[in-house]
Structure 1
């Protein structure tokens, strides 16, 4: 004898549909070792990855405050911290170092 499957009420269908939409926002399906696995989605800001958003929108002060020094753009001018400025000559007219 086959059992008859009970239909969901409209409220239950709405709740199930909402729960499914929330799961799809939180998780993604990927393949690992030939099997399909559900993993958490990487964080995004306005639909783009966080790293890319920071690269495009962060100013140098914010990057410094958050210790992201490798992302701070470097200008091509000589700074006062250069050990040997370009204006100082290290060789005499014959090419002999001092």
Structure 2
């Protein structure tokens, strides 16, 4: 005995298509442990991941308040353990350092 697939009514077709589009926006399919599973999509703003927006636009004070210290930009200045920075070395009138 074979099953006959019931056709959708004209009102059901757009509703089903809209529901499918909504699920595709909300979830994505990935492989975990050899199985295909559905997980929620990461949040985005205008298609850009939230993490990237924060890195580009957040000021250091906001990053500190939200405990995101690894994203705070630091100036690569000379270390306090360097013996003498190159810019401080003395040169004679011929430009030879001594």
TM over 0.5: yes
Secondary structure of 1:42's counterpart equals coil
- Cα shift readout 1:1-58 (whole Å, capped 9, x = no counterpart): 6554332122211110111001001111111222211111112222122111110111
The two structures have a TM-score, normalised by structure 1, of 0.66
Q: Which aligned pairs between 1:58-69 and structure 2 lie closer than 5 A? A: 58-69=58-69
Equivalent in the alignment of 1:37: 37
**1:70 Cα shift?**
2.1
Q: State the alpha-carbon separation in 2 of the partners of residues 33 and 2 from structure 1.
A: 35
- For structure 2, the residue ranges without an aligned partner over 5 or more in a row are 85-98
The two structures have a TM-score, normalised by structure 2, of 0.66
Equivalent in the alignment of 2:52: 52
Number of aligned residue pairs:
82
Q: State the alpha-carbon separation in 2 of the partners of residues 55 and 20 from structure 1.
A: 33
Deviates more, 1:27-36 or 1:69-78: 69-78
Change (3 A) 1:20 1:54: same
